[in-house]
Structure 1
Amino acid sequence: MHRNLAIKLAVVALLIMLLMIPILMIDGMIGERQSLRDDVLQDIARSSSYQQKITGPLLVVPYRKTVREWKTNDKTGVRYQEEREYRGRLYFLPDRFALSGDATTELRARGIYQARLYESNNQVSGHFQLPAHYGITENVADYRFEQAFLAVGISDIRGIRNDLKLRLGEKEYGFEPGTSEQLLGDGVHAPLPVLPADSEQTLDFAFDLQLQGTGQLDVTPVGRESVVDLKADWPHPSFIGEYLPNTREIRNDGFTAHWRTSFFATNMQEALDACVAQNDCSSFQNRHFGVSFIDPVDQYLKSDRAIKYALLFIALTFAGFFLFEVLKRLAVHPVQYGLVGLSLALFYLLLLSLSEHMAFGLAYALAASGCVTLIGFYVSHVLRSWTRGAGFTAGLAALYAMLYALLNAEDYALLMGSLLVFGLLASVMVLTRKLDWYGIGKPSVAPQPE
């Protein structure tokens, strides 16, 4: 290969490496703006309510137990019996737990940033199957059961939007602030009427809970059988937690999801017993499921995805210039390579800044159109032909269109990216299949006159 051409290729490679400096700076700016956005979202949630988690209801029965202990008088050696009283609590999970929730979402803005809040109208119902004497089988006379209460853990009680009333049969009882139970954390509790303890009983309960939150709603399946139905007007749900929905339907106007679990799948009773006996509630508190209302592919993630293809875009553009040089015998100066490369890098800065003020699709269209128009106008003069410039511009516009489709793919991004790279490589190989690479850079021999 001609020595000058080899030097030029080395210079072009150096330009590509230098152009990665502004690309990396823009990439860092994306991370900074995303971090700033997250801080603003936290401030909005701090002013309204954070993500919500519903745990319960849990039936709690406080009791006093009289224990008789034999002791010996140190001076006389006489043994005597002393009574001591211990306090404790019995905990019962519902045999059936059902929650039906209908959520609506809305945007709250602060400056140029927006947070997605939801308000969920939930109907909670079920029943407890309580054994005689609450399951105490020995020395029942030593126990005195106090007023029981129903406790419901709600991670951020500021999000409660209605006056909670517990329905037991045909009667209603008011909830009070706080769960009065450390293992549930924040929430509410409802003191219950005096319950007969000498026989088995079924305690049916129901209450309505209007709950506001930000970003995420979790439910703990506390029942021996738990049935949860959620629906919302959000078309991009992300189902999270220990259990996926048994059935789900996602539409353009929202989603519906159905969960059904049992004690065999959740082992909640053992987790609760470990929490009470060993003061280790991590297993009990982590067994939950729910839905996230956060856009899975926001503008910052899309911008970050786009900039990962910057090196490919620059390399392909420079490869196009190189093909014109070797196929059409044109000379493109390294400075011209550099200016076009800077235009490609500027696209990502425009995309980032525009997407913060408008829909990502419109921002992408404006940024891509501006860069393609600028590069097309410049390249037409560099290649000394409007026809060549139009062809180069059309190819660049097609690349941007394929990149946009790639950015919007949530599950097929890797597949589409691989096919794009393979197709571009195949195109270069087809265009250069008859090129004499050993003859590149050699001066052409003019035909001799006869």
Structure 2
Amino acid sequence: MNRILAFKLGTIALLILLLLIPLSMIDGLVGDRQYQRAGVLQDIARSSSYRQRISGPILVLPYTKTWLEWKTHKQSGERYQEQQQSRGRLYFLPERFVLNGEVTTERRARGIYEALLYRSDNRISGAFKLPARLGLGDDLGLYSFARPFLAVGISDVRGIGNDLQLRLNGQSLGFAPGSGDERFGPGVHAPLPALDSQGGQLLEFAFNLELQGTEQLDITPVGRDSRVELRADWPHPSFVGEYLPSRREVTAEGFLAQWQTSFFATNLEQGLQDCVRKGDCQALSGRSFGVSFVDPVDHYLKTDRAIKYALLFIALTFAMFFLFEVLKRLAVHPVQYALVGLSLALFYLLLLSLSEHLGFALAYGLSALACVALNAFYVSHVLHSRLRGTGFGALLAALYALLYGLLSSEDYALLMGSLLVFGVLGGVMVLTRKLDWYGVGRNVGSSPLNQA
């Protein structure tokens, strides 16, 4: 008697473990489809433009330093002066940096996969205030300067959509390809008129930058006082980087985000000095913020999350099946358990394949409906009652509804899962509180196990 019950429970546990095989295969298929989609998205970005980062503008002033250095003649020992030269560049960050961007998004499809592209119309303005004697002090006379230029780093210049024109103190200047300095990577630069070597000069600048990209837009706040405002028609932003927006509004029509930083918060001057003197530009490039255009309908991610609950889901379903068996004194063969378990595993395959074409919510509903209908039909014959089959189907549908709630409420998934398991355990304890477990083997004497 006890051995029969123990054998039945052990067989059910073994079936649950065996069902991990098809579930792991389906989980691997999800990973393969994600990899294929990532490859297609990469191809779309390669043919248009990748994620974008705007770094600048930064004022660059090339110089040649000339000085006399005393030398000693090796043979005669006489001292003489020899002219020495070195070349370098002075870098100046803006006193004020303002960026106002209007972002529109669009989807590009290739087969069943879609990529999200954006177009950002940016109005960039600000001012440079040059220090007295360009910060060189009494050594200013040793320097001669080449033509200065304004460098703007743009991570993927293919996304530039307009003819860039710089307005500098009311004067219109053109941009040229390349940032002009390898430290800033790809981008554009604008040659400027000669600067006043005594410094103290105020340079007001402004230009429009139309930029296309994918997935993410990052901005480096290069100003002593930086103010950035982005408006977009995308209602699912994820704000990324070193600084969160000081103000943001997210609605169903889009979002508005505003950032404000200063040199005290960014320490960008030190980052620029490290980049120039030590060649370590990580601090300069890392002091950025922006927005990632997250696609909330990532059916692969949701399907993968659903599979993580599969073991719990199958165990709860088998528990309901076993309760029907012991409470109604019916005999259910392990093969019948296995068929029900396989149908539950195939739910995830249906969910994966349908979600690629219909979207996750509709695919989930159709897959759950198919599995509920199939199991209700099958169990009604196994338990010899349409009412019992309908009741089993209703409970299974409730489990699918709870699973969807777990997937939709990521922040509360652990809490909801814990309450679900506690509730099921409590229900089992209430229903079986008067059950004679020693008599279970006798009560199901017609079970195929007993007959065997």
Q: TM-score, normalised by structure 1?
A: 0.96
What's the counterpart of residue 208 of structure 1? 208
2:281 matched to 1:281? yes
**Residue identity in the other structure for 1:24:** S
**Structure 2 partner of 1:448:** none
Change (3 A) 1:417 1:436: same
Segment of structure 1 superposing worse, 88-97 or 137-146: 137-146
Q: How do residues 137-148 of structure 1 correspond to structure 2 at under 5 angstroms?
A: 137-148=137-148
Corresponding residue number in structure 2 for 1:404: 404
Partners of 1:106 and 1:297 in 2: CA distance? 15
Correspondence 1:81-92 to 2 at 5 A: 81-92=81-92
Alpha-carbon separation, structure 2, partners of 1:157 and 1:193 = 25
Rounded to whole Å, the distance in 2 between the matches of 1:174 and 1:125 is: 15
Amino acid at match of 2:222: V
Say if 2:260 is the partner of 1:260. yes
Go from structure 1 to structure 2 and tell me whether the alpha carbon gap of 1:271 and 1:444 turns closer, same or farther (over 3 Å shift): closer
> Which deviates more from structure 2 when the two are superposed, residues 185-194 or residues 199-208?
199-208
Contact in 2 for aligned 1:152/1:187 (Cα 8 Å): yes
SS of the aligned residue for 1:370 comes to helix
2:367 alignment counterpart: 367
Q: Contact between 1:305 and 1:407, CA under 8 Å: does it hold in 2?
A: yes
Q: List gaps (5 residues or longer) in structure 1.
A: 446-450
Shift of 1:390: 0.7
Question: In 2, distance between residues paired with 1:443 and 1:237?
Answer: 60
Pick which of 357-366 and 427-436 moved more. 427-436
1:19 has 2:19 as partner: yes
User: In the TM superposition, what are the counterparts of 1:375-386 in structure 2 within 5 Å?
Assistant: 375-386=375-386
Q: How many residues align?
A: 445
What is the deviation of 1:296?
4.8
Change (3 A) 1:66 1:335: same
4+ runs deviating over 3 angstroms: none
Q: Distance in 1 between matches of 2:433 and 2:96?
A: 71
- Compute the displacement of 1:436 (Å): 2.5
> 1:359-403: per-residue Cα shift (whole Å, max 9, x none)?
111111111111111111101111111111111101111111121
Per-residue deviation, 1:264: 0.8
2:198 maps to 1:198: yes
Q: Which is worse superposed, 90-99 or 69-78? A: 69-78
1:195-240 Cα distance to aligned partner (Å, 9 max, x none): 2222411111111111000000001111111111112111111111
Match of 2:44 in 1: 44
1:165 aligns with 2:165: yes
Question: 1:130 and 1:6, CA in 2 relative to 1: closer, same or farther beyond 3 A?
Answer: same
The alpha carbon displacement at 1:443 in A equals 4.5
- Cα RMSD of the aligned pairs, angstroms, is 1.5
Residues 8 and 386 from structure 1, CA distance in 2 versus in 1: closer, same or farther, beyond 3 angstroms?
A: same
8 A contact 1:234–1:254 mirrored in 2: yes
CA distance change for structure 1 residues 297 and 109 in 2, over 3 Å: closer, same or farther? Answer: closer
SS in 2 for 1:195: coil
Match of 1:317 in 2: 317
Distance, in Å, in 2 between the alignment partners of 1:155 and 1:284 is 14
1:48: Cα distance to partner?
0.5
Q: Give, as a single letter, the amino acid of the residue that structure 1 aligns with 2:330.
A: L
Deviation at 1:12, TM superposition (A): 1.3
Change (3 A) 1:191 1:444: closer
Equivalent-residue separation in structure 2 for 1:48 and 1:378 (angstroms): 52
Instruction: Name the structure 2 match of 1:183.
Output: 183
- Contact residue 100 and residue 228 of structure 2 kept, 8 A: yes
Which residue of structure 2 aligns with residue 135 of structure 1? 135
Q: Is the 1:238–1:296 Cα contact (8 Å) retained in structure 2?
A: no
Q: Match of 2:424?
A: 424
- Structure 1 vs Structure 2: percent identity of aligned residues? 66
TM-score by length of 2: 0.96
Going from structure 1 to structure 2, the CA distance change for 1:175 and 1:410 (only over 3 Å counts) comes to farther
What is the deviation of 1:444?
Answer: 9.0
Structure 1 residue identity aligned to 2:388: R
Task: Determine helix, strand or coil for the equivalent of 1:260.
Answer: strand
Task: Note the residue ranges of structure 2 that are not aligned, 5 or more in a row.
Answer: 446-452
- DSSP 3-state at the match of 1:306: helix
The question of whether the paired residues in 1 share the 8 Å contact of 2:330 and 2:444 is answered with no
User: CA separation in 2, counterparts of 1:182 and 1:384?
Assistant: 78
- Report the 3-state secondary structure (helix = DSSP H, G, I; strand = E; otherwise coil) of the residue aligned with 1:304: helix
